Amino acid sequence: MQSEYRKLRVGLVGLGLEAYWSQFEGLEARLLGYLHEAADMVAAESREIVNLGLVDTPEVALDAAHRCRREDIDILLVYVTTYALSSTVLPVIKRAKVPVILLNLQPEAAIDYERFNAMEDRTAMTGDWLAYCSACPVPEIANVLRRLDIPFHQITGMLRNDPPCWMELEEWLRAAEVVHALAHSRLGLMGHYYGGMLDIATDLVQVSGRFNLHIEILEVDELTARRREVSESSLEGKLAEFREFFSVGEDCSDVELARAARTSVALDALVRDKDLDLMAYYYKGSGVAENYKMMSSIILGTSMLTGRGVPVAGEYEVKNVIAMKIMDLLGCGGSFTEYYAMDFNEDLVLMGHDGPGHIGVAEGKIKVRPLTVYHGKVGAGLSVEMSVKHGPVTLLSVVEDKSCGFMLLMAEGESVPGPILQIGNTNSRYRFPLGARGFAETWNSHGPAHHCAIGLGHQASQIRKIAALLGLTALQIC
């Protein structure tokens, strides 16, 4: 992503009514103070705040509306500070053409009734009341937006001393950051689909249009050619990185490590030169010796990329690498997984996958294991083995949806300790509130592909907001 576009640009506008300013001394300044407090609360290193000020007339609204375009905002926070006319805010929202969140925030939990009723000046009383009057125009604004089919979201609470309210807003802003990052990301596709896996096939127009990703089609031969040019110093440097990043077993031969290191150096160069942010690949490589050497030694390099913010999915799993990227942008991992088996004695589901693993979700260092065969694939070589950290987890699948292209399907559960299959793959034990049978049948009933992404923590609330900002359906089964 180009550096000038990395930060989320947050438009913040306050709503008021000009007629009040001459009637109630100090009210305008008080409400502007609220707006500046809100701006301070929203500020973060990853954001640029565009404070549009207090909009109180249609003329001021039109100026703010045009500024939204000039400032290239990504999301609009509409802070309803007091009663305001719906006709005042409508031009801003219509011209901005970005997701809208209505902030219905009064300054404190309640008016101090005793202090308020002791005021001797009834005009001053009204001005004081209007400083708490944020809830009043929200139905009017919502009515207008609904009638015009303009989506909006709401946060209701207090400007001060209301952590749940600000946590909710923070989730929306984090969701907006994910959507913004996707819109400036480049997805590399190398090779072709795994033959016969019809469930993972997808429409790249929908992928590009719904997630706003640029798709870069890559030639396997280019990676093979880059591999020829790897210098001995680069090779030695990558071998040192391997031993720092992975737990390399003594049964891993120097020849296989060098083969994987050479491929990893070439892969890093390809990702850097093509400016890729995520990638999916699959290629048999059979019949061409160089391609075979490269594709059968790619797992360590793709695992390192995945752990460093460039998720890579095997089996050309385009939809799932997007799920992995969403998880990674949330800072909770995003590792490739699928059903392995059921443990009906413990009421658990065993899940994992071969190919790239995510160090961010691993219980300890990722182990490197030699395999004499890659099951279902051509070749042999080094693979990775890991378990997902024990504790709460979320599964995410990008699922085909006829109504709006895709749906985000989620399940919250727990990674639990116990014996796993030590087969040179990711492998973990998961417990879900629905039980193993209920989880499997409910999850499958929504028609996901057989892969999904696993991330740490319970992230469904956050992911629902990402789906809303993307205009996609979100469905949580547990």
CATH code for position 142: 3.40.50.10940
User: Can you give the CATH number for the domain in which 420 is found?
Assistant: 3.20.14
- The pLDDT value recorded for residue 406 is 96
Q: Do 43 and 178 fall into the same domain?
A: yes
pLDDT tens, residue by residue, 70-90:
999 999 999 999 999 999 999
Q: Do 141 and 80 fall into the same domain?
A: yes
CA–CA separation, 326 and 177 (whole Å): 10
Q: Do 169 and 244 fall into the same domain?
A: no
Q: Do 125 and 228 fall into the same domain?
A: no
Number of domains present in the structure of the chain: 2
119-127 contacts, C-beta under 8 A, 24 or more apart: 123/23, 123/24, 124/24, 124/25, 126/23, 126/24, 127/20, 127/23, 127/24, 127/25, 127/26, 127/27
- The pLDDT value recorded for residue 378 is 60
Residue that finishes a domain, picked among 182, 217, 240: 182
Q: Do 426 and 326 fall into the same domain?
A: yes
Q: Do 148 and 193 fall into the same domain?
A: no
Q: Do 212 and 289 fall into the same domain?
A: yes
- The pLDDT value recorded for residue 420 is 81
CA 289 from chain centre, in angstroms, equals 39
Q: What is the DSSP letter of 363?
A: S
The residues of the chain scoring below 70 in pLDDT are: 1-4, 371-380, 424
Q: Do 24 and 95 fall into the same domain?
A: yes
Residue that finishes a domain, picked among 159, 182, 205: 182
Residue that finishes a domain, picked among 167, 182, 197: 182
Q: Do 77 and 199 fall into the same domain?
A: no
- The pLDDT value recorded for residue 47 is 95
Q: Do 149 and 164 fall into the same domain?
A: yes
CA–CA separation, 70 and 46 (whole Å): 20
CA–CA separation, 378 and 27 (whole Å): 73
- The pLDDT value recorded for residue 380 is 65
CA 62 from chain centre, in angstroms, equals 33
pLDDT tens, residue by residue, 325-377:
999 999 999 999 988 899 999 999 999 887 788 999 988 888 888 765 655 55
| Full DSSP string of 239-283 | HHHHHHHEEE-TTS-HHHHHHHHHHHHHHHHHHHHTT-SEEEEE-
Q: Look up the domain containing 346 and give its range.
A: 187-476
Q: What angle do CA 208, 209, 214 make, to 5 degrees?
A: 30
First to last CA, the chain: 34
Q: Do 289 and 214 fall into the same domain?
A: yes
- The pLDDT value recorded for residue 162 is 95
Backbone angles phi, psi at 99, to 5 degrees: -55, 145
Q: Do 81 and 172 fall into the same domain?
A: yes
